[in-house]
Amino acid sequence: MAKPHILVSEHLGERALALLGEAADVEAYDLLPEADFRRRLAEADAVIIRSAHSLRAEHLELAPRLKVAARAGAGVDNIDIEAATQRGILVINTPGANAVAAAEHTIGLLLAVMRRIVDADRHVREGQWDRQQFFGWELRGRRLGIIGIGRVGTQVAKRARGFDMDVYAYDPYVAPDTIRERGAKPVERLEDLLALADVLTLHTPKTGPRLGRAELERLPRGAVVVNAARGGLVDEDALADLLEAGHIRAAALDVFSQEPPRLDHPLFRLPRVVVTCHLGGSTVEAQWAIGERVARAVLAALEGQVPDGAVNLPVAAQDERVDDLVETGRVLGRLLAFSGAKGRTLRVEPSGAAAGVTELLSRAVLWGFLEAVGEESVNLVSAIAAARQRGMTAVAQTPVNGGEHRDREPGIRAWFDDDVAGAVEVTRREEIRLRRFWGARFDMGLSPYMLVTRHKDRPGIVGAIGRILGEAAINIATVELGRNAPGGEAVMLLGLDNPVPDAVVRAIQALDAISVVHSLNVGGEPAGVF
């Protein structure tokens, strides 16, 4: 099998390139010109960019082979995620790889502005030595208010405690107990955090709360503001006005709403302001970590796994069982299609350990169903869009146990519309096992090739089917029977070592007691993302 071709359009680092080169053909550049970038996308199975390049819809149209689009960094503003998802392209980023670097830079900015380090450095270089001009302020005992206590905010809280600061945090997406575990006292409302913060730091994406004049005026007189997160989170003109008025004592910014900022920026004319050029993640160690993490994620995706940092897949955190569960969901989708089930609303209900990835499993089941009914180009990323084109939707049902007992064996049940009786159910510990099909209950491991029949429950049927299969040199590996009542309708599942030709299916269908027979190619290879 040919190695995948990976295009690296910007500097990534020798360690990351060596890692990629172990499993792929790598075409790497320190900075590829835009015209060349567009041209070379045509041969790429995966592409890794940083900030200099974008992947818009027009770029993706130039990349018919592209399966993975990766951003070596946290932000993905330069990737059209909707267009990538429509085309079944997995988008990856590397959040948190530079968390320590960003946190250290935040503390560095805070120390620089509190102790007047930049002003004093300039003063000494100019041949002066007036120490009285540069009295600063200690961090000890001050109240630090953190907006956003994710990876970076948590690292800032940890370091601030080392300075004996009193740490508070506002984050509506993190439970109070978790905020406490991350080393801060939870504050439910942003306005309450602003009112108490002697020092305010921001650690949110661009979608985080924006601090305008009204919000900044809530800070105690003499507060200090540090923004090393995203430009535009703070109204820079309002910040300059409040600094000049003395309401805010000092400020430090690593990011700006416009980068680079204009030379006449209002903050540049003020004392007690420290600025840097978006250096939060700019350490050697952080760049190594980002490069290696994105390389491993890209290779994992190309090998059919669900990687850490998947942006357009509903995975909250990487779990060692995720790939197995995706495979289980995909197989369930195939079985549901083979059962003849149809409808507009696919309902997927997990149980046990599967309850933690319900949304992802809905995609996996939908994927398996669609490929079984002829959607050859569908994958885990594009399943929702492909279903929508068919007039279908997938609904993740609330787990039957309310999400409890997640240490139990993971199970998945799926059906269409309100036809619960027609549900197919599988479970998985070491292997996928079928538990329900055509209304009958089973406990059967799956084979790559299977035969399922619905027939009258009477003697001789199993033997007759076995004789037809034997004459065709098809070996039966396993067999299980299920029925609703003696003498009624029965369902038989046979696991086979060989595919079943159409002629054999027709011979079985011709038996007097058989009402329905299907040959199922469940597939023996791991599902994978693509």
pLDDT score for 99: 92
Q: How many domains does the chain have?
A: 4
Shared domain for 254 and 108, answered yes or no, is yes
Question: Would you say residue 325 has pLDDT above 90?
Answer: no
For residue 74, what is the domain's CATH number?
3.40.50.720
Residues 336 and 298 in one domain: no
In a shared domain, residues 234 and 358: no
The set of catalytic residues is: 230, 259, 278
pLDDT band at 504 (very low <50, low <70, confident <90, very high): very high
16 burial via Cβ count (<10 Å: 0-12, 13-18, 19+): buried
Q: Model confidence at 376, in pLDDT bands (50, 70, 90)?
A: low
Contact between 158 and 102 (Cβ < 8 Å): no
Cα of first residue to Cα of last residue in the chain, in angstroms, is: 15
Amino acid at 131: R
Class of residue 266 by CB neighbours under 10 A (exposed 0-12, middle 13-18, buried 19+): middle
Radius of gyration, alpha carbons of the chain: 30
Give a yes or no: residue 281 inside a domain. no
| Residue range 41-51: mean pLDDT, rounded | 95
pLDDT, mean of residues 315-341: 80
- pTM of the predicted model over 0.85: no
- Rounded to an integer, the average pLDDT of 191-215 is 95
In a domain, 308, yes or no: no
Q: Which helix (H) or strand (E) holds 398?
A: none
Contact 354, 412 (CB under 8 A): yes
What letter would DSSP give residue 218? T
pLDDT at residue 1 in the model:
65
How far is the CA of 435 from the CAs of 57, 362, 412, 484, 497, in angstroms? 43, 18, 10, 15, 21
The Cα-based distances of 207 to 204, 372, 378, 443, 513 in angstroms read 7, 39, 31, 48, 63
* In contact, 358 and 350? CB cutoff 8 Å: yes
Judge if 24 and 124 occupy the same domain. Answer: no
396-403 long-range contacts, CB within 8 A, separation 24+: 396/348, 396/349, 396/350, 396/358, 396/359, 396/361, 396/362, 397/347, 397/348, 397/349, 397/358, 398/349, 399/349, 399/350, 399/351, 399/355, 399/358, 400/349, 400/351, 401/351, 401/352, 401/355, 403/355, 403/356
Residue 428 and residue 478 share a domain:
no
Identity at 322, one-letter amino acid code? V
**How many Å apart are CA 248 and CA 105, to the nearest integer?**
21
211 and 107, same domain (yes or no): yes
pLDDT at 406: 54
What range does the domain containing 496 cover? Answer: 448-521
- What H or E segment, with its residue span, contains residue 184? none
My answer on whether 161 and 246 are in the same domain is: yes
- The DSSP bridge pattern shows strands 345-351 and 143-147 to be unpaired
Res. 402: pLDDT tops 60: no
Which of helix, strand or coil describes residue 87?
coil
- Lowest mean pLDDT of 27-31, 250-254, 461-465, name the range: 461-465
199 and 105 co-located in one domain: yes
Determine contact, residues 306/361, Cβ cutoff 8 Å. Answer: no
Please check whether residues 108 and 257 belong to one and the same domain.
Answer: yes
Token code pair at residue 326: 């995706």
Residues contacting residue 199 through CB under 8 Å, at least 6 positions apart: 110, 139, 142, 143, 144, 145, 165, 223, 224, 225, 226
Q: Are residues 246 and 164 in the same domain?
A: yes
Are residues 325 and 428 part of one domain? yes
Domain shared by 115 and 235, yes or no: yes
pLDDT class of 163 with cuts at 50, 70, 90? very high
Q: How far apart are the C-alpha atoms of 164 and 116, rounded to whole Å?
A: 20
